[in-house]
Copies of this chain bind each other. A is one copy, B any other.
Amino acid sequence: MTPNEYNENLLRQHGLKSTRQRLAILDILDNKQAPLSTEDVYIELQKLDVAINLSTVYRTMDAMRDKGLIREAALAGDNRVLYEMARMEHRHYLVCIGCKKFIPLDGCPIKEYINGVASQTHYAIAGHRLDIYGYCPQCQAGGAGR
């Protein structure tokens, strides 16, 4: 199965029609390792000369989020929502404040902690968000990435 066929199935399995625009958006989310805002996705599409309207990108991101294909991930310094593919295991990131680079962290350090919170509070835990911020070695050196 080609990567394109895979994404076509992915869309249909989630009750969404497979279209040129949606496949292009999935390609971008697949290939970028960092969470992207709606505007980010639109800019990437333009770089690839994909003809698409910004409102379509907004609607597509909404639809994919509602269907569970993508999820809201970390968020940047500004107040935009960033999305990433909803892979099986969730991810946490180490974000460089200087150059905005995202490094995925291995595993989830608070799995057990959350179990404890659940049993103490009787909340039905649905998810969590954890990101760590700092300066990468290059940016600490006042380096290129900045």
Contact = CB atoms under 8 A, between A and B. Distances in A.
A68 interface: no
Interface stretch (A14-22, A27-35, A49-57, A102-110): A102-110
B129 A129 contact: yes
How big is the A interface, by class? 20 to 34
Contacts of A109: 109-110, 113
Q: DSSP class of A's interface residues: helix, strand, loop or mixed?
A: strand
A128 to B, nearest CB: 4
A64 interface: no
Contact of A135 (B79, B124, B134): B124
B130 A123 contact: no
A83 to B, nearest CB: 11
A75 interface: yes
Interface of A: 75, 79-81, 94, 96-97, 103, 105, 109-110, 113-114, 117-118, 121-137, 140
7 A-B pairs with the lowest CB-CB distances in the bound complex, closest first: A125-B134, A123-B134, A109-B113, A128-B132, A124-B135, A79-B81, A130-B130
